[in-house]
Chain A
Amino acid sequence: MRKTSKLSGADKAGLVQSGFSSMVLGEAGGISASPVWSKVAEKQAAAHDRILVIVELSGGNDGLNTVIPYGDDAYYNARPHLGIRKDKLLKLDDEFGFQKTMTGFERLYKDGLMGIVHGVGYDQPSFSHFSSMAFWQTGAPNSGEQYGWLGRMADAIDPLGHTKNFLVNIDDSQSLAVRSMNHVPLVFNDPDNFTRRTFFEEKKALEAIDARGNGSANPTQDFLFDIARSANNSEQLVRDAWNAYESPIDYGLVPWGLEKVAALIAADFPTKVYYVPFRNNAFDTHVYQADLHARLWSYTSDHIAAFVRDMERLGRADDVVVMVFSEFGRRVAENTSLGTDHGTAGPAFIIGKPITGGHYGKMPSLTDLDDGNLKFTTDYRRIYSTLIQGWMQHEQPAAILRDEFSPLPIFQRTN
């Protein structure tokens, strides 16, 4: 792997001038030396550099075969072929168990680092991946909202966009969840490739070409110049962080993104929100799902558990909370293709040292159904409200979520 040079002192000075001070100096005390940033810095220091990591499982995860209600016979009645037998699961208690492959999650749960939120969904559910995912990403069902809930949260916490790279999205393209009015999210997938390869003699002209000027009558062009600036600011920092990062921790068979988050956190990025999808609609298990779903959860649970261990190793375990969701669950009954079709409510997970582990929300009945589907018990925006207020310490979640949603008591131990 090609390693690139570290930042020189002059480079660092340049970055400080362009507003990356918190990252370069590393300490809140350092930031306050710069009068422009001091106010923001104080506020941020008060928030203890709290970090929120959102993991999206795209495709509609089969919640009933994830947090398995093995104590309920109705589960086996609805799933004669796909139901996971009692002797083939990892029991959490007398009611629930995980898939055999979910040893990572089992450990997190048993160590009190995981809150399982049951029956998460919303009223009048959409069974479309795209609509339901958009509802989750905007936090505003059926509204045509154009900014993401995390983008709006960034705008509310830091309306002037002082914190550079407040939002980081590990993906090839930007998620709606992080779309913001005042922040340009940093989006990348492969840190090694996050560079523009140029000849030495092109550097000066490139600066002139990237310079935005006074803006134009063409909003698309202005957008591209904003992106160019963001790219230039972030390129070296991301690659340095990635190249400097080495971890003894095994991130599982398919490292799908949290290892990159760990690298940026290890490099003291000022980022507050990381958004990491498990991509390509992978959880859309319409046919022959048993092996596939078990495998997906082996990748997912090993990877997330590794990330939590890595945060402990970095001494940041108290600063990081992970939330894991999917756009919907699947129908209670299996289909005739040994798979499951699009459904409604499912479990979500809130993970990390700052939380109080256990069960939250009520498990929906497997027999009192809405046309074969679970009736949701916990509106997903209650989770958002919990994270915005309980974790990110922003006191007006209702302004972001357009309505009041009572938080779950998951942060009460620390607050």
Chain B
Amino acid sequence: MSAPRAESLLPISGDIWNYARAAHLLERAGFGGTPSDIERLAAMSPADAVAHLVDYAAIDVSHLPEFEESGFWEPSFKNFPVSRPAATELAERTGEAMGVKVKPGGSRPLQPVTNRFFYWLRATVLETRRLGFWWLDRMVRTPRPLEEKMTLFWHGHFATSEEKLRDYRKIKLQNETLRRGATGNFGDLLVAVAKDPAMLVYLDAAQNVKGAPNENFGREVMELFTMGVGNYTEDDIREAARAFTGWGNDDLTFVVDPEKHDAGVKRFLGREGNFTGEDILAIILEQKQTAIYIACKLYRFFVREEISPAFAETLGALLRDNGYELAPFLRTLFLSEDFYAEPSVATHIKSPVELIVSTYRKLGLTELPGIPDPHTVSKTLGQVLLYPPTVAGWSQGRSWITPGLLFERANFAREVMFPNIIEFSDPLHNPGEEIRRVNRNIIAGMEITAATLEDGAAPSATAGIQETFNTRYASLVGYSEAVRKLKPIPRAAAQFSLTRTVLDGGARNTADAVDLLVKQLLRVDLADTARAALIETLEDEIGTTELHEAETYMEHGLRIVAHLIMSSPQYQLA
């Protein structure tokens, strides 16, 4: 029986299928799992195990909770002003903005308009956080882990962020589009995403009009979504942008405005015609490079970073020969010798989302704990769902790790094992020091202008100020109203028992317990010295080597061991 060969896409032999390889498959094609999850896959043939993960449509997910909106949206938020000045100018000009009529007189006539503006800004941020929580929770719960993992992949690929969109509904819609097309046909997904309101807004479709094209989408669709730099010219970008003129959205609906569309002849990638946006996408899909680019990006996400030029061609051909159908491509990949070859195993650095989700799945949790706050953890570790840093998504691999971030990963492990309930307060209820200060001043009975001045400003600074509105006060009012309507995120710490885990696993002494926890949590062994130190620490904690003597109180000691294992460099590997 020979070892699986790197760069061979032939299926691995059933003879070498075992627990370790099934565990590798589940780490990569899903988010890892408990030993019993892994044993279930190991008991199948490799082809069946892969099919179980890839062909997930038959697996029922009707029990997974739907996202329940807090109910922030009102039709008057349609065409939300681009900035606060734009909002107040609109109100001054027309007497109304965002459904709020300007006060006829009195102090601060534009205050209600300003309040309304900040209310929506805050509401959509809070609701996007809830949506992010809902998605992460779905990743923990789902019996179709590859569906969520591919949705995550596409979210990083077709990256759009709340920062610019300022509308959780568009984000939710895009998330559904990505999930629906997760393992379908790449060409279909590309077209669907291009017409999705989130992408249209994110890459300035509304600004791309006949006679004054905006190149943002025309550029990124080739550079980031399909071909990569160096495979087209600046002229191709400009011509593509012309073809996409007129594309836009009426709130959540894709529309083409023939008035704004440039119907003239375009020259694009060596072709000529009066192309539409769809034509451009079709031509892009015909490029050999597009298949190579997508295949390699998928490969890096699921397998490993380094790809030889020849192998890149092979991967591209595989995707192209399958007509851009993703499921057969993934099936071949996950079944291949290459996927199980030495350079592919335990060499992937988990992204923060993978770290969080796989931690909970390995502990056997069936829902996402609200403590520690997953958003805060994600932010600290550098990957917040629905907030990719730029249109290029997240860089993967080693860029996830710095000295500081390695520590933070250990701190997350500590929060899982020893949640700091005493200090916990819901971060969604914390508006920041600025708003709290204004709030304290208002409650203390101060006048609005004085209450919102910088700390230490002289009281005389308020004299003679005639505000038509006050943005700091509006910020306070908007935040308060948004939090009042916000549906709460369940805030419970993880419920699990490592005592149960080690006893059910048949551990009898401290060495067994350490080995069992290592097997449960790691894909690479610890050094012997590290293992010995863990055993010694556990013995110090429970005062014996025999677990049956310590059954009633060993949970703390076991959690110390788990925390230490999860603080190791090896825990970052999948």
Contacts and interface: CB of A to CB of B under 8 A. Distances in A.
A205 B533 CA distance: 5
Chain B's interface size range is: 35 or more
Interface stretch (B290-298, B492-500, B559-567): B559-567
Contact of A224 (B392, B406, B530): B406
A280 B346 CA distance: 31
Given A221-B570, A225-B569, A230-B403, A201 B346 contact: no
Interface string B73-94: 0000000001101100000000
B452 to A, nearest CB: 16
A235 B382 CA distance: 19
From DSSP, what is the main secondary structure of chain B's interface residues? helix
Contacts of A127: 215, 219, 234, 237
Contacts of B527: 208, 211, 213
B501 interface: no
Contacts of A336: 207, 209, 212, 214
Contact of A231 (B85, B216, B406): B406
Contacts of B402: 169, 172-174, 187-188, 227
Nearest to B540: A201
Given A174-B402, A335-B207, A197 B564 contact: no
A14 B230 CA distance: 51
Contacts of B390: 129-130, 280-281
B214 to A, nearest CB: 7
A202 B564 contact: yes
A189 B216 CA distance: 30
Contacts of A235: 403, 407
A342 B203 CA distance: 13
Contacts of B382: 172-173
Contacts of A230: 403
Interface stretch (A73-81, A115-123, A283-291): A283-291
A230 B406 CA distance: 10
Contacts of B560: 199, 201-202
Contact of A205 (B163, B408, B537): B537
Nearest to B84: A291
Contacts of A172: 382, 402, 405
A224 B573 contact: yes
A341 B564 contact: no
A206 B526 CA distance: 12
B524 A208 contact: no
A356 interface: no
B380 interface: yes
A173 B380 CA distance: 11
A202 B537 contact: yes
A116 B244 CA distance: 39
A243 B187 CA distance: 54
Interface in B403-452: 403-408, 410-411, 414
Contact of A204 (B216, B408, B537): B537
Contacts of A202: 537, 560, 563-564
B109 to A, nearest CB: 22
Contacts of A205: 530, 533-534, 536-537, 564
A195 B209 CA distance: 51
A309 B213 CA distance: 45
B385 interface: no
A30 B419 CA distance: 45
Given A172-B382, A202-B563, A194 B404 contact: yes
Contacts of B392: 129-130
Contact of A206 (B223, B404, B524, B564): B564
Given A194-B407, A208-B532, A227-B406, A221 B569 contact: yes
B301 interface: no
**How extensive is the interface on chain A, given as a class?**
35 or more
A213 B528 CA distance: 10
B529 A208 contact: yes
Interface string A194-229: 111111011011111111010001111101110110
A280 B204 contact: no
A128 interface: yes
Contacts of A207: 533
A121 to B, nearest CB: 15
Contacts of A280: 163, 389-390
Given A209-B526, A209-B533, A173 B403 contact: no
Contact of B411 (A196, A208, A217, A342): A196
Given A193-B380, A194-B404, A335-B207, A208 B533 contact: yes
Given A174-B399, A209-B567, 5 more contacts: A187-B403, A205-B537, A208-B527, A221-B570, A336-B207
Interface of B: 82-83, 85-86, 163, 204, 207, 209, 212, 214-216, 219, 223-224, 229-230, 234, 237, 342, 346-349, 380, 382, 389-390, 392, 395, 398-408, 410-411, 414, 524, 526-527, 529-530, 532-534, 536-537, 540-541, 560, 563-565, 567-570, 572-573
Interface of A: 126-131, 142, 169, 172-174, 184, 186-190, 193-199, 201-202, 204-211, 213, 217-221, 223-225, 227-228, 230-231, 234-235, 280-281, 286-288, 291, 335-337, 341-342, 371
29 contacts: A130-B223, A130-B229, A184-B403, A187-B402, A189-B404, A193-B408, A194-B404, A195-B407, A198-B410, A198-B567, A199-B560, A201-B540, A202-B564, A204-B537, A205-B564, A208-B529, A208-B534, A209-B568, A211-B530, A220-B573, A221-B347, A224-B569, A224-B572, A230-B403, A231-B406, A280-B390, A281-B390, A287-B207, A342-B219
